[in-house]
Amino acid sequence: MDGLIETIKSLDILTDEPVKTNIPAVSIFKSINYMPRQPFLYDPSVCFLLQGQKYISLGEDHLPYDADNYLVISVVIPMEAEVLATPENPVIGILVDIEMSMLHELISITGHPFGLSGNLNQSAPKAVEPARMDVHMKNTIERMAGCLKSKVEARALGDGLVREVLYRVLCGPQASALYALANHNGPFARIAHVLKVIQTKYAEKLDIEYLAGEARMGVTAFHQSFKQVTSESPMQYLKKVRLTQAKDLIMREKEKVYIAADTVGYESTSQFSREFKRLFGKPPSAFTGIPGFVDD
C-alpha cells in the first residue's frame, strides 16, 4: 500500500477529482491543498482514504472518514466535505463503484432475503453510512492497491477484488443500505429511483407531486422517506444538484454564469447567483477563472 501511495502522490491529479484506474470500477483521487467545507456530489460507491482525513457532513450528521473508517454511499448524494490536505501530506483515496449486477449476484448467494447480518433495521437506511475498517476489508484494499499498478494483474484480479469489497460491506455493519437498494419494491429503492430521475431531469420543472408519483408513494410518506434517506427535503436536494451541476459547467466548461443558470433550470440569474453564493460561500464569478468576467 505504501508503494501505491507514493505512486499516487507523483501523479498530476486535480484536487479531489477522481481518476479511473486499470480496474474500471475503481478510481483514485488526491487532494494537495486544504479545502474549506463545501458541497460535492458523490456517486454510489465505497470510499476509502489511504492517507489523510476529511470531515464529511450530511444534514446534521458528521461522519468519520479517515484511514480507519470508510464510507458506504448507496445513492447519488450531495454532501459537504472539508479536506485536510497539504502538498507535503496530501489526502489520497480509492473509490469503488457499487456494481448493481454484482451486488444482486452476491445477495443471491447469501441465500437470506435480509442478507448476512440477519437483523437489519426495517426502516429505510441513510444514503451514507460510515463503517470501521476491519482487518478483512483492510486486507482486501491492500491487495486491490497492489494490483492497480499492473494492467495484467488488474485485468486478472480486479473484478474479483471489487466483488470482495462489496461482499465485505455486506458482511459489515452498513449492509442494510445495500440490501435495501437491491430490494426494488422497498422505500429505499424507490427513493433511489427518484434520485436517478432528479439526476437526469434536474433542469426540468420538477415538483414534489411529480417526484412522489415517480416513487409510487403519497406526498407525505414520500417526503418523510426522502428526508430519512438523504437528510434533505426533495426540493433542497434538487436545488443542491442544480447548483453543483452549474458549478461544474462554470469551472470545467468555462460557461458563462447566465447560461449555466438557464441550463440547470433557473429562470432568474439573480436568484441563481444568490443561492449559489449561499451554498458555496462565493459568487459564481469566483469559479469562472476568466479574468474580468463578472456574473449578473
pLDDT band of residue 4 (cuts 50, 70, 90) is: low
The parent domain of residue 221 ranges over: 183-231
**Contact, 75 vs 44, CB < 8 A?**
yes
6 and 135 share a domain? yes
pLDDT band of residue 291 (cuts 50, 70, 90) is: very low
7 and 30 share a domain? yes
pLDDT, tens digit, for every residue of 37-79?
Answer: 888 888 899 999 999 889 998 878 888 889 999 999 988 888 8
Of residues 235, 224, 218, 163, the one with CA closest to residue 188: 224
Q: Kindly report the pTM of this predicted structure.
A: 0.80
pLDDT at 295 over 70: no
pLDDT band of residue 12 (cuts 50, 70, 90) is: low
150 and 58 share a domain? yes
pLDDT, tens digit, for every residue of 104-147?
Answer: 899 888 755 444 344 444 456 788 889 999 999 999 998 998 88
Here the cell at position 85 is: 490536505
Is residue 68 a part of any domain in this protein? yes
Is residue 139 a part of any domain in this protein? yes
pLDDT band of residue 244 (cuts 50, 70, 90) is: very high
121 and 214 share a domain? no
How far apart CA 13 and CA 23 sit, in angstroms, is 17
55 and 77 share a domain? yes
88 and 193 share a domain? no
138 and 206 share a domain? no
Q: Per the structure, how many domains does the chain have?
A: 3
Residue 126: predicted pLDDT:
81
Residue 159: predicted pLDDT:
94
117 and 206 share a domain? no
pLDDT band of residue 10 (cuts 50, 70, 90) is: low
How far apart CA 200 and CA 245 sit, in angstroms, is 11
Last residue of a domain, one of 158, 180, 202: 180
Helix, strand or coil for residue 67? coil
172 and 199 share a domain? no
Is residue 293 a part of any domain in this protein? no
pLDDT at 290 over 60: no
pLDDT, tens digit, for every residue of 189-218?
Answer: 899 899 999 999 999 999 999 999 999 999
Q: At what angle do helices 175-182 and 100-110 cross, to 10 degrees?
A: 100
Is residue 46 a part of any domain in this protein? yes
64 and 152 share a domain? yes
Could you give the dihedral angle defined by the CA atoms of residues 23, 196, 131 and 280, in that order, rounded to the nearest 10 degrees?
100
60 and 200 share a domain? no
36 and 171 share a domain? yes
Is residue 296 a part of any domain in this protein? no
How far apart CA 290 and CA 268 sit, in angstroms, is 22
Q: What CATH number does the domain containing 101 carry?
A: 2.60.120
